Amino acid sequence: MKKEHFLQSEGSKSVAASVLSILIGLAVGSIVILIVGLTSPNLSLSSAWDGIRIVFGGLFSTGRNAAGTLTWGFNPTNIGNMLFRAAPLIMTGLSVGMAYKTGLFNIGAPGQYLMGTLVSLSIALGLPSETMSTTLIWLLAFLGGTLAGALWGAIPGLFKALLNINEVLACIMTNWIAANLVTWLFDISSFKNVTESTKTGYIYKTTYNGVATAKMGLDKIFPNSQVNGGILIAIVFAIGVYVLMSKTTFGYQLKACGSNRHAARYAGIADKRNIVLSMAIAGGLSAAGASLYYLSGNTEFFWSTYQSLPAIGFNGIPVAMLASCNPIGIIFTAIFMSMLDISGLQLTNLTAYNEYITNVIIAVIVYLSAFSLVIKMWIGKLGKKNDDGADANAEPAPVPSPAADAVPAETEKGGDAK
Amino acid sequence: MVSVLAALRVRAIKTEGGRKNLENQYAIEMLNITKKFPGIIANDNITLQLKKGEIHALLGENGAGKSTLMSVLFGLYQPEEGIIKKDGEVVSIKDPNDATALGIGMVHQHFKLVDVFTVLDNIILGAETTKCGFLQKKEACKKVEEISKRYGLNVDLDAKVEDITVGMQQRVEILKMLYRDNEILIFDEPTAVLTPQEIEELMATMKEFAREGKSILFISHKLNEIMEVSDRVSVLRKGKYIGTVNTKDTTKQELSNMMVGRPVQLEVTKDEAKPAGEVLKVDHLCVHSHVQKRNAVNDVSFNVRAGEIVCIAGIDGNGQTELIYGLTGLDKPASGTITLCGKDISHASIRHRGEHMSHIPEDRHKHGLVLDFTLEQNMVLQRFNEPRFENHGFINNKAVRDYAEELIKKFDVRSGQGPITRARSMSGGNQQKAIIAREVDRDKDLIVAVQPTRGLDVGAIEFIHSQLVAERDRGKAILLVSLELDEVMSLSDRILVMYEGEIVGELDPKKTTVEELGLYMAGAKRTAKEETAV
């Protein structure tokens, strides 16, 4: 048998599809910049060119020199901030990706994130730092937040397992319950920032109580940035999820339940327990992301959240999809997404454009990542043309749906109608 | 709109008048077709000639290339070599629309119907009559009614497809072809899902079509049906064309030998059963039905002893599925007790029951396999946390791989990439073999086998039957559920007939006849309850 063409292996196809989505997204962003630049009387072609360059290389822009042209180089602030923002995104990405691998769509990440925020901030600000070590408080706050998210995530899991209620519906409802709950509880709490009168509606930073995530030396590498050990913790979590899902019998059970609940039950696997556990772990991951973000010491929580849900929870979905739900891939896609954030800030600071351009780019990428299967097939065909006789499936099943019958394709799937 | 009746009449006259001239004319010729897939030649220089007005059976084992060949004819695949002729003229079929335009219609093994549409909507879908963009359902309805009356294809046009029986769904598929005035009809394993009565009706309909000059390609590996209905048979084996014979000049044995490539044992050979101690005892078991108010299984009592094969016979839907669900723990029994190896397991978990019971499930896609898992992952579906395969919570990949390879070899499970093949990409027969391998190798006292040979070819059936007999001779108790009368008669040591949720008779296969068994199955005869209760 011939050696597999590199575009034929599943893994590299996924990576190629993601990279393609990203490139197309960036290209569309550039086109938008160009159109805005050419149609607006205030902007010139050269400012559009500046904008495009920042979209692609915002991470390495260091500002403008005296002559007004963009300067480039290693920018530790940008990279540090990017890593700082990536940490919670990795966690929500893992939350969505891990649930997805077990056949559940965790759209409840924002609610779990909020519950994590509530509990970890309450512990971090509530425990007396005079009598306790702040490291211990940090640890308790982190674990408490994670646990809260796990319990919150378990609720839709229970509904799904016991009453067969679609987890998406239950998740959406628990999201809003969480938003209101968090608002009310902070409203009656003593954690509202009253010392800085300009900031109404904010909760104290955890540094108010002396609690902050350890820098773990990262501030030496990336000075003048918000970076801390959170990114390292998130990466450890990603590796942990990878090991859990691919190497352990527990992960095997979770995946079996996710792919075919009936077969798992038939084999004596406790399907209900596993569905609840899956959602609980997903909830815990999302909430741990919130803990990492708010325990950093330099972030403030705006507590009147009942009108909106934290975008970082929803952003876990594109992060996970773009990485095909591979935990290791999620590290990179989350970092990439936060890089776009940084580029957006650079656009606002250095050009006449604002950060909404990067929202367009993210939107396009999210759209395309939803089509990743189509893109993958397309790449597969491309690979086949170059190298005939790769993919080795000895018994090709006939293509199921003949267009002549004009009936939508009906894929056979384990009898498990979702 | 041209009336179908008229069209059919014209065609019938044509065929009759021109029969002599057309004697050697073929409706469809597939000449020297070669279709390669990476790593395998699915069709290797295959020639298939379909005469007008004949029923031509295409016979071959699972994976012999039948479906690929039909997909080529239907435009789903493009062959590397070879030509297709219609009425002697070379045609090019690039996609299924071309095939439809040439009058080729196909009933797929897995029906292509929209579940939430009505029967009528399904039939006209893709070939709707419209006026100014509006559907003309009345006309369509009239046409469909005419066709269905003409061929006795009874369907309820207003019913939704999801609510009708599998047999009726198939009639809908057939009506779809007739509605499109197709004259070349392909039936891909049409009888796999039907009850014996429905099979008989289908056979009659097919013969009627042939009489009217339609040409029929009938894909099957059921020799009885092929012998009954076809005029000629072409045999494929491992992608190669073996030959074409006239049905009346051949025998079942010859056909199966051609298909498998070696002499096949059509009858099960087994010695007298030597039943020993009781393994399974079922006492007054009732299981609720999820569809109806009454019990699906009503007051059923029987036992299975070590070293015997007890078969539950009956027409599909008489409570066999529910009985097995209740036994294996997939559903909760409403009342009654189940005793396995001396322990009451009436309320035990599936895992607990699995300590003494292995289960070859009825639905291999729903219960038997996780289709997205690899073959090796499926092989340890129940056993992944045995010490042999688990190391401190981690999967021992090497042990799993070795074990899977051992089973693959022992049970001849064929797949593209061995242990790492996705279960989804394997052929049905090999999926079933994988399940049998897993369940038999678990080495439990009781094997519950539900329709273990459904949809399989003679080679695979022979293998599975011999495995079950071998397990019996090793002292295992085997509870078999089968809808195939041949299988019931040849494999079992005792037959329990189920009718409307009750066991209506216990028969000895050596002393009874198929006819008598049929009477019990139809509910026309039953033994007094006291006799059957064990």
CATH (residue range B275-356+445-534): 3.40.50.300
B108 inside 8 A of chain A by CB: yes
Cross-chain Cβ contact B99/A402 below 8 Å: yes
Answer yes or no: is A415 within a domain: no
Nearest CA in chain B to A255: B373
CA end-to-end span of chain B, whole Å? Answer: 65
Cross-chain Cβ contact B38/A268 below 8 Å: no
Cross-chain Cβ contact A404/B96 below 8 Å: yes
Cross-chain Cβ contact A414/B430 below 8 Å: no
Q: What pLDDT was estimated at residue A7?
A: 52
Q: How many other C-beta atoms are found inside a 10 Å radius of the C-beta of residue A67?
A: 6
Cross-chain Cβ contact B366/A394 below 8 Å: no
B391 inside 8 A of chain A by CB: no
Verify that A281 and A331 share a domain, yes or no: yes
The range of the structural domain enclosing residue A252 comes to: 77-351
Verify that A230 and A300 share a domain, yes or no: yes
Q: What pLDDT was estimated at residue A197?
A: 67
Cross-chain Cβ contact A249/B393 below 8 Å: yes
**Residue-wise burial string across A395-411, b where 16 or more C-beta atoms lie within 10 A, e elsewhere:** bbebeebbbbbbbeeee
Q: Which residues of chain A have pLDDT under 50?
A: 1-4, 387-418
Answer yes or no: is A127 within a domain: yes
Verify that A83 and A200 share a domain, yes or no: yes
Cross-chain Cβ contact A395/B39 below 8 Å: no
Q: What pLDDT was estimated at residue B2?
A: 45
A277 vs A269: CA distance, rounded Å: 13
Give me the amino acid identity at B508. Answer: D
Q: Residue B134, Cα to own-chain centre: how many angstroms? A: 40
Answer yes or no: is A416 within a domain: no
Could you tell me the sign of the dihedral formed by the alpha carbons of A303, A306, A307, A309, in that order? positive
Verify that A99 and A114 share a domain, yes or no: yes
Verify that A142 and A285 share a domain, yes or no: yes
Cross-chain Cβ contact B38/A410 below 8 Å: no
Verify that A129 and A101 share a domain, yes or no: yes
Domain endpoint, select from A351, A374, A403: A351
Alpha helices, DSSP H only, in B357-427? 375-379, 397-411
Answer yes or no: is A417 within a domain: no
Q: What pLDDT was estimated at residue B256?
A: 84
B70 to chain A nearest CA, in Å? 9
Evaluate whether B84 touches B165 at the Cβ level (below 8 Å): no
Cross-chain Cβ contact B366/A415 below 8 Å: yes
Out of B74, B390, B417, whose CB is closest to A402?
A: B74
pLDDT tens for each residue of A211-252: 888 888 888 888 888 888 899 999 999 999 999 998 999 999
Contacts of A252 in chain B (CB under 8 A): 377, 384, 395
Of A408, A406, A405, which Cα lies nearest the Cα of B174?
A405
Answer yes or no: is A402 within a domain: no
- Total number of domains constituting chain A: 2
- Reduce the DSSP state of residue B512 to 3 states and report it: coil
Strands of the B343-344 sheet, one edge to the other:
B295-305, B278-288, B335-340, B343-344
Domain endpoint, select from A326, A351, A376: A351
pLDDT tens for each residue of A42-78: 777 788 888 888 888 888 888 788 777 888 888 888 8
Q: Which residues of chain B have pLDDT under 50?
A: 1-2, 4, 6, 8-23, 530-534
What CATH number does the domain containing A339 carry? 1.10.3470
Verify that A13 and A26 share a domain, yes or no: yes
A263 inside 8 A of chain B by CB: yes
Verify that A104 and A237 share a domain, yes or no: yes
Verify that A242 and A360 share a domain, yes or no: no
CATH 3.40.50.300 residue ranges in chain B?
Answer: 4-110+181-260, 275-356+445-534
**Which CATH architecture does the domain made up of B4-110+181-260 adopt?**
3-Layer(aba) Sandwich (3.40)
Verify that A81 and A219 share a domain, yes or no: yes
A22 to chain B nearest CA, in Å? 28
Answer yes or no: is A273 within a domain: yes
- Reduce the DSSP state of residue B236 to 3 states and report it: strand
Of B352, A266, B322, A268, which Cα lies nearest the Cα of B344?
B352
Verify that A202 and A106 share a domain, yes or no: yes
Contacts of A416 in chain B (CB under 8 A): 366
Verify that A47 and A118 share a domain, yes or no: no
B99 to chain A nearest CA, in Å? 8
